[in-house]
Structure 1
């Protein structure tokens, strides 16, 4: 589904620039707990590697498909953050990714304005004809829920 009069596809493949800008693939540096990341996608893929793994650092400095491609080398049983191990795909894992998405947008006035410009639109995440993988790090419904919640918070400020 692409942008319609009532929805916006938040994806690197979106035909609406706002969807591309809000995508996790976008090169959009942010800081989370004093750590610098090139993109949310780099964060998502990097936390799949244990702390100290060289591929973790590569992912954190990556964006787009380069970051996504690293996932094939990761063990998807857990993610690693702040010295801890979190079960892959659980609510805590999704909350951690949500914190990264929130940090990215809160640190950019431009992205805040982009997100606010989507008011009245349903945010969707559709990357093509293939169904979403059940092994995805961040299900579309969770991703869009995070953005929608953040948009409502920004509107209330």
Structure 2
């Protein structure tokens, strides 16, 4: 597959290093709500488990397929954060993931610069597979989040 010079695929399978670096799968430690996470994927998968479940903490220190596969064991009854259970796939669930993604990018000068360097490119998320009906973060939601963060960085609204 030839790279498209007009778009950036934000995915672990991207042919552009920026797309890989900005993907949820990559090992990219960040702190959120006073906790350390290895990756966004680990965060996304870990919150699927109740706070008393040991798999939750294990997911938080994983990245990539290790985190994704562990999350496959969750029952998807909800996502759990700070004592609350949010409906799986709800706007609140997506807002929680968005807050984690924003935090990760804001904590990394390199990621901010990588995202800013994509000005003028269409941001897409193409993995070679359609979204699962049970996905935590649908492609349109993820792309909206990344576009909004990029726009806010370009406008100097985030630092």
**Normalising by the residue count of structure 2, what TM-score does the alignment of the two structures yield?**
0.95
Indicate conservation of the 8 Å contact 2:40/2:100, yes or no.
yes
Aligned CA distance change for structure 1 residues 71 and 110 (closer, same or farther; 3 Å): same
Question: Secondary structure of 2:72's partner?
Answer: helix
> For residue 56 of structure 1, what is the aligned residue in structure 2?
56
Q: 1:6 Cα deviation (Å)?
A: 1.4
Cα distance in 1, alignment partners of residues 116 and 152 from structure 2:
10
Moved over 3 A (4+): none
Cα distance in 1, alignment partners of residues 67 and 12 from structure 2:
13
Indicate conservation of the 8 Å contact 1:2/1:14, yes or no.
no
Cα distance in 2, alignment partners of residues 112 and 29 from structure 1:
15
Cα distance in 2, alignment partners of residues 93 and 137 from structure 1:
8
Residues matched between the structures, number: 156
Cα distance in 2, alignment partners of residues 112 and 15 from structure 1:
19
Indicate conservation of the 8 Å contact 1:41/1:67, yes or no.
yes
Cα distance in 2, alignment partners of residues 116 and 12 from structure 1:
19
> For residue 9 of structure 1, what is the aligned residue in structure 2?
9
For residues 48-76 of structure 1, give each alpha carbon's deviation from its aligned partner in whole angstroms, at most 9, with x where no partner exists: 00002100000000000000001221011
Q: 1:77 Cα deviation (Å)?
A: 1.7
Q: 1:2 Cα deviation (Å)?
A: 7.0
Q: 1:3 Cα deviation (Å)?
A: 4.2
Indicate conservation of the 8 Å contact 2:47/2:80, yes or no.
yes
**Normalising by the residue count of structure 1, what TM-score does the alignment of the two structures yield?**
0.96
Structure 2, gaps ≥5 residues long: none
> For residue 127 of structure 2, what is the aligned residue in structure 1?
127
Verify: 1:78 aligned to 2:74, yes or no. no
Indicate conservation of the 8 Å contact 2:59/2:71, yes or no.
no
Cα distance in 1, alignment partners of residues 3 and 49 from structure 2:
34
Question: Secondary structure of 1:73's partner?
Answer: coil
